């Protein structure tokens, strides 16, 4: 038998609209791993969220987070981490600030945003925890994100025009909790 590598995206692919994996999908992936194939979760999500999806499956599989910036094997050993260079991050932050663009960056389990705008609101937990954000340790709002870089490793940026996102939300193309 030829082993196959099966890489699966998370949102709107592996997960149902309620952010859970169906029993049928879980069984299929289990059968594939039992047959010797390699199943990998590959997502743009923050690393802790990718790990939570792996735990939901209950399988010893590898996972890729932050759009490929981090890779962990089936026994939770970090195989690769490709963080953004700090000097590059500082230059990017200068451009965002100059143009007053909403932005956030991801560490392994925290999101840092320059303001609590529409995009950050869908991650922020106000009362209790929602399914879509429960594996994000925190979201930190700081106008000048350069002040947060000393102890942080940046894996990914998110930049959005909040008016555009607000229009998409109002038209029903996206929901505020990330569904």
Which residues are known to be catalytic? 9
Question: 59-90 b/e with 16+ CB inside 10 Å = b?
Answer: bebbbbbbeebbbbeeeeeeeeeeebeeeebe
Q: How many CB atoms lie within 10 A of CB 37?
A: 15
CA–CA distance, 111 with 60 (Å, rounded to integer): 27
């Amino acid at each position: 038998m030829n082993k196959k590598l099966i890489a699966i995206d998370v949102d709107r692919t592996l997960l149902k609209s309620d952010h859970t994996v169906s029993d049928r999908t879980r069984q299929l992936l289990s059968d594939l791993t039992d047959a010797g194939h390699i199943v990998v979760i590959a997502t743009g999500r923050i690393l802790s969220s990718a790990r939570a999806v792996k735990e939901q499956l209950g399988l010893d599989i590898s996972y890729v987070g932050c759009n490929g910036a981090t890779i962990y094997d089936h026994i939770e050993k970090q195989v690769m981490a490709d963080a953004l260079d700090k000097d590059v991050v500082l230059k990017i932050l200068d451009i965002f600030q100059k143009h007053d663009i909403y932005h956030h960056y991801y560490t392994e389990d925290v999101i840092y945003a320059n303001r609590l705008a529409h995009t950050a609101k869908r991650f922020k937990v106000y009362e209790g925890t929602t399914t879509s954000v429960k594996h994000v340790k925190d979201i930190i709002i700081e106008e000048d994100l350069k002040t947060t870089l000393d102890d942080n490793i940046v894996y990914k940026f998110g930049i959005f025009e909040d008016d555009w996102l607000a229009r998409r939300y109002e038209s029903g193309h996206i929901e505020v909790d990330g569904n």
